[in-house]
């Protein structure tokens, strides 16, 4: 997220519809086989696990793969180029990312 903000003056992408999810999946597939980061973070707040967007936009759509998000530690989210599903990953992994403006 910091790199996206500092270098590109953007935010990691937030996804609010199936159409947008599919658009980003197709875009990512043209550049990488690795699942890129999007701007969803899952963390524990007031004893409850919740997901939120880094850009503070409303959480009104989700496309999690089965058994995701993982509720172990705070996790970041990848968008699969293969199936378009989201998966929880440790935030320190180096991966491609999708920046939005």
The answer to pTM > 0.95 is: no
Tokens of 8: 């590109």
> pLDDT by residue (tens digit) across 38-67?
999 999 988 899 999 999 999 999 999 999
pLDDT of 55: 95
Separation of alpha carbons 25 and 3, rounded Å = 21
pLDDT at 19 over 90: yes
Residues 98 and 79: beta-carbon distance below 8 Å? yes
Give the start-to-end residue ranges of the domains of the chain: 1-100
Separation of alpha carbons 21 and 34, rounded Å = 16
pLDDT of 101: 85
Other CB atoms within a 10 A radius of the CB of residue 17 amount to 11
The proportion of the chain whose per-residue pLDDT surpasses 70, expressed as a percent, equals 100
Q: State the average pLDDT for the chain.
A: 95
Architecture of domain 1-100: Roll (3.10)
């Amino acid at each position: 997220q910091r790199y996206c903000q500092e270098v590109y003056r953007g935010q990691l992408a937030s996804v609010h519809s199936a159409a947008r999810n599919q658009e980003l999946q197709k875009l990512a597939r043209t550049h990488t086989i690795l699942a890129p980061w999007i701007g969803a973070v899952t963390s524990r707040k007031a004893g409850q696990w919740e997901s939120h967007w880094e850009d503070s936009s409303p959480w009104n759509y989700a496309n999690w793969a089965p058994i995701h998000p993982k509720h172990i530690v705070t996790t970041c989210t990848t968008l699969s180029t293969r199936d378009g599903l989201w998966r929880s990953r440790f935030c320190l992994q180096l991966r491609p990312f999708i920046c939005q403006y």
